[in-house]
Every structure is written in structure tokens, then in C-alpha cells.
Amino acid sequence: MTVTRRTFIGTTVAASATLAAPMLGAQATPRVVVVGGGAGGATAARYIAKDSQGGIDVTLIEPTRTYYTCFFSNLYLGGFQEYDDLGHSYGTLASDYGINVVHDWAIGVDRDAKTVSLAGGGVLPYDRLVLSPGIDFREESVPGWTLADQDAMPHAYKGGTQAKLLKAQIEAMPEGGTYAMVAPPNPYRCPPGPYERVSMVAHTLKNINPTAKILIIDPKEKFSKQGLFEEGWNNHYAGMIDRIGPDFGGDIIEIRPDAMEVVVDGTVESVDVCNVIPGQKAGRIAEIAGITNEAGWAPVVPATMQSRMDENIHVLGDASQQGDMPKSGYSANSQAKVAAMAVRNALTGSRMFPAKFSNTCWSLIDTDDGVKVGASYEATEEKIAKTSGFISETGEDAALRKATYEESLGWYAGITTDMFG
Ligand code: FAD
């Protein structure tokens, strides 16, 4: 039987490893392995495959068969998106771009042998490795909470069913109950994400449970788009949202998942829903590969997104430590295109252009009330450096806010097509 790339999809990992192995000796086509099929990884895989037109053999390793975007998951909590609309499959990357999609976990990287090992037992050789595993949590950042508590107190900060669970808990709150969010310390994915979430939870509660309260317990002095969010909360949800910052003990907390309590600087708060968003670090495989620093992130060379610790590895998105860009899907997608260009240059000699990056983060505060912040960036020796930026203003008229929201719908359609074809 001839094993084609199409039959490779959905076959066992053992089979996929067997397929990859003969190519090691033959060196017929350079091989790229991409770990993580999210905003960074799916984009990089697609661009490397598309632009090399068969000149590079691309394998994408991703455990889930359907990728649920974190972006717009807040809008799902607010009732503006359906859960199923957040899900995207890898079928087109396989069928139209010839990418070998392997549904498995990468569990090891041998940087000397240039191989990735998989939970299912396979070993994949690479000429270049692209890591875009997103984040993992620093559980110790929230005393009293561990991942074992994520069903009782969801984070909903990775894609998938956690958002569903959080929504169900919010909808089941008693009349006049309290939703608490333990906001994360810097740096974390999607700087406005927790505060857009508060807005969307407030929108839902205003409709179904108008006497409910929202309590934000925040270790940070200030947060992204703060003036815009606070203006919006006053306009739409007056009296509903209370934030305890570090000046009032927001950074001195203890979580009691069994009792549904949060102790803030000695004061016990009983809550009905507790959305704990812990501190973050690069996805574990980056640490396993030995390319993370003391802070838990993977430093990269801005012009190519190569690891500063291994030139054969490129790190994208949230896992990377690159400089001024926020950890966002837009950033990961932008970085992936630069990395794809660098990978093709290294493996096929294709042309390299100066790296340019961009990002915009939209947030929805209430129906048709959208705001945004964004910037352009260039690669310097030291970091990805911001060159110019923009942000919505307080007091904007309703038509502009509606247009900003509609822009975000176009962005979502565009980026998901750019990722998955
Ligand atoms: P991810 O997209 O998380 O992809 C990582 C992938 O790697 C996952 O699919 C995972 O299964 C896989 N993986 C991990 N480890 C392994 C392994 N060992 N082996 C194989 N696969 C592995 N960004 C925006 O731009 N706009 C927004 O509006 C926005 N809103 C957000 C709202 C919320 C609530 C949250 C939580 C995030 C939001 N973001 C937004 C941020 C955005 O989701 C992330 O920044 C983006 O997904 C990062 O892309 P990534 O490729 O680094 O990681």
C-alpha cells in the first residue's frame, strides 16, 4: 500500500513516524515540524507549505482535532457568538496544502539529533522545528488553587470546554450572587482579555440576573484599555462591578475552592462563581526543549523568531519572549509569517525581507460598543520594537464604536481563514 499524505491524516502516530523515518536518509525534501496548531503554529505551517509549493515537507503536531479559539470566547460568554462557531478543523491544511497533520502531543525534543518525540511513541526528524505551544499556568501564582480545581473554579483561559463550563456556572448563579475573577499578573495572553470578559459577563448578568455583582481581584496596578473599560462599565453596568487592586490587597489572596471563598488580604469573600486566571509561562514543551529562561518564556531573535538558544528552532506567539508585542492571536499570526519566511530562506534559499509585525486587539464592552488598541513593530537586534500605535478614545460616538465592533468580526473571519485555509 502506498502511504500518501492524505492517508497519513488520522493514522496512528507509529505509522506517521514510520513514514517520516525513510526521508531522514534520503534527504529528499527539507522537513519542518510545527508543534501546536493554534494562531502561531497553524499559520506558520500553512505559509511554509503554501509558499514553498512542495519544496518543504511540513508536519503539524496538535493533540486536538478541533481548535477552539480563545479569541471571541468572551463574546460567547456574552451571548454574541455560538460555541460551535469558535471551532476550526485541520482538514483544509491537510487536503489543500499537503500538511501532515498528526493529532498527538509532542513530549520531547532532542536538539542534537533534531527529533521530536510524541506521546504515541513516534519520533519525527526535523531540519527546522517551529514551536507555538501557547501557554501553561504557574499554579503557584494563586495560593490555594491548582489545576485540579479547574472544574470548581475554571480559568477558561485556554481554548475549549472551560469556556462552556464557565458560562454554565454564570447562568446558574443564584439571584444577586457574586461572580469573582482573579485576574492574572503580567505578562499573560491577551492583555485586555480579562476585562473584556468582565464586560461580557456583566452583559449576560444584566439580562438574566440584574442584581448580581462582579468582583475583580487584581494583582496589577493598572490594565490594558483601562480608561475605556471603566468608562464602558459606568455607562452600561453602573454599580455592578467592583475591582480590588493591589492597593487594597488584590495581590495578597488565598483561594478556598471547597468553600467557594476568596480571602483578600485577610477578608473572606464568599462567591458563587470564581474564575481564576493564574500567572502564565510558555507551553511546557518549550521548557522541555530547554529553550526557556528563568521567567519561563522562550527568548527569540526578532528578525527570524529563532530561539536565542537554538538556531534550528523558531518560537512563535505566547510562548516567545520577543519585546513589545502583546501575547495575542493577531501577534502570533503576524510572527508566524516572519518565521515562515525565515524557515524557507534557511531551507530553500528563498528571499528574505525585513521583518515587520502588527497587532490589533479589539474588545466588546456591550452591544455594538467595540474598542481597540493596536501597533506596528519592527525587528531590532534587541527586541521586536513598537514603531507606532493607536487606541480608541473615551467619549467616541455610537456609530464609531459599532464600526469598531464590525471591524473585529471581519478580523476574526480573516485570521481564522489565514490560519486554517
Ligand atoms: P495557541 O493558539 O494557544 O495554540 C497552541 C496550540 O498548541 C494549542 O492548540 C495546543 O493544543 C497546542 N499544544 C500545546 N502543547 C503542545 C504539545 N506539547 N504538543 C502538541 N501541541 C501542543 N488574541 C487576539 O488576537 N484577539 C483577541 O480578541 C483575543 N481574545 C482572547 C480572549 C481570551 C479569553 C483569551 C484567553 C485569549 C485571547 N486572545 C486574543 C489571545 C490568543 O488566544 C492567544 O494569544 C493565541 O492563541 C496565541 O497563539 P499561540 O499559537 O501562541 O497559542
| CA–centroid distance, residue 105 to ligand 1 (Å) | 15
Per-residue pLDDT, 137: 98
Spell out which residues line ligand 1, taking CB within 6 angstroms.
Answer: 35-41, 61-64, 67, 70-71, 73-74, 105-106, 132-134, 157, 189-190, 193, 197, 283, 285, 316-319, 327-330, 332, 361-362
% of the chain at pLDDT higher than 70: 94
Exposure class string for 184-212: b at 16+ Cβ within 10 A, else e: bbebbbbbbbbbbbbbbbbbbbeeebeeb
| CA–centroid distance, residue 121 to ligand 1 (Å) | 25
| pLDDT tens per residue, range 249-299 | 999 999 999 999 999 999 999 999 999 999 999 999 999 999 999 999 999
Per-residue pLDDT, 154: 98
Structural contact between residues 76 and 83, judged by C-beta atoms closer than 8 angstroms: yes
Contacts with 7 (C-beta within 8 Å, 6 or more apart), sequence order: none
**What's the grid cell of residue 288?**
522541555
Q: Judge if 151 and 112 occupy the same domain.
A: no
**What's the grid cell of residue 387?**
514603531
Sign of CA dihedral 380, 356, 291, 126: negative
Is 298 a member of any domain?
A: yes
Written as one letter, the residue type at 259 is A
Mean of per-residue pLDDT scores for the chain: 94
Per-residue pLDDT, 6: 33
Q: Judge if 309 and 269 occupy the same domain.
A: no
| CA–centroid distance, residue 307 to ligand 1 (Å) | 19
Band the pLDDT of 25: cuts 50, 70, 90: very low
Is 416 a member of any domain?
A: no
- CATH number at 91 reads 3.50.50.60
How many beta carbons lie within 10 A of that of residue 312, not counting itself? 13
Pocket test for ligand 1, best of 13, 70, 158 (most atoms within 8 A of CB): 70
**Cα–Cα distance measured from residue 308 to residue 286, given in angstroms and rounded to the nearest whole number:** 12
| pLDDT tens per residue, range 315-373 | 999 999 999 999 999 999 999 999 999 999 999 999 999 999 999 999 999 999 999 99
Q: Which of 325, 352, 379 is the last residue in one of the domains?
A: 352
**Cα–Cα distance measured from residue 126 to residue 180, given in angstroms and rounded to the nearest whole number:** 45
| pLDDT tens per residue, range 225-240 | 999 999 999 999 999 9
Is 292 a member of any domain?
A: yes
Is 389 a member of any domain?
A: no
Sign of CA dihedral 409, 414, 420, 421: positive
Band the pLDDT of 27: cuts 50, 70, 90: low
- pLDDT higher at 259 or 15: 259
Residue 19 has pLDDT above 70, yes or no: no
Structural contact between residues 314 and 321, judged by C-beta atoms closer than 8 angstroms: no
Q: How far is CA 40 from CA 92, 291, 309, 390, 402, in A?
A: 17, 17, 20, 24, 29
Written as one letter, the residue type at 192 is P
Is 387 a member of any domain?
A: no
**Cα–Cα distance measured from residue 203 to residue 246, given in angstroms and rounded to the nearest whole number:** 26
Q: Judge if 288 and 227 occupy the same domain.
A: no
Domain total in the chain: 2
Per-residue pLDDT, 28: 83
Range of the domain at 253: 144-277
Q: Judge if 115 and 156 occupy the same domain.
A: no
Per-residue pLDDT, 292: 98
pTM for the full predicted model? 0.94
Per-residue pLDDT, 20: 41
Q: Which of 277, 294, 310 is the last residue in one of the domains?
A: 277
Determine the average pLDDT of the residues in 163-192. Answer: 98
Q: Judge if 259 and 194 occupy the same domain.
A: yes
**What's the grid cell of residue 221?**
496596578
Q: Judge if 153 and 108 occupy the same domain.
A: no
Question: Which DSSP category does 327 fall into?
Answer: S
Q: Judge if 272 and 166 occupy the same domain.
A: yes
The alpha-helical segments, DSSP class H, found in 38-148 are 39-52, 73-77, 91-97
| CA–centroid distance, residue 39 to ligand 1 (Å) | 6
**What's the grid cell of residue 110?**
532532542
Structural contact between residues 199 and 365, judged by C-beta atoms closer than 8 angstroms: yes
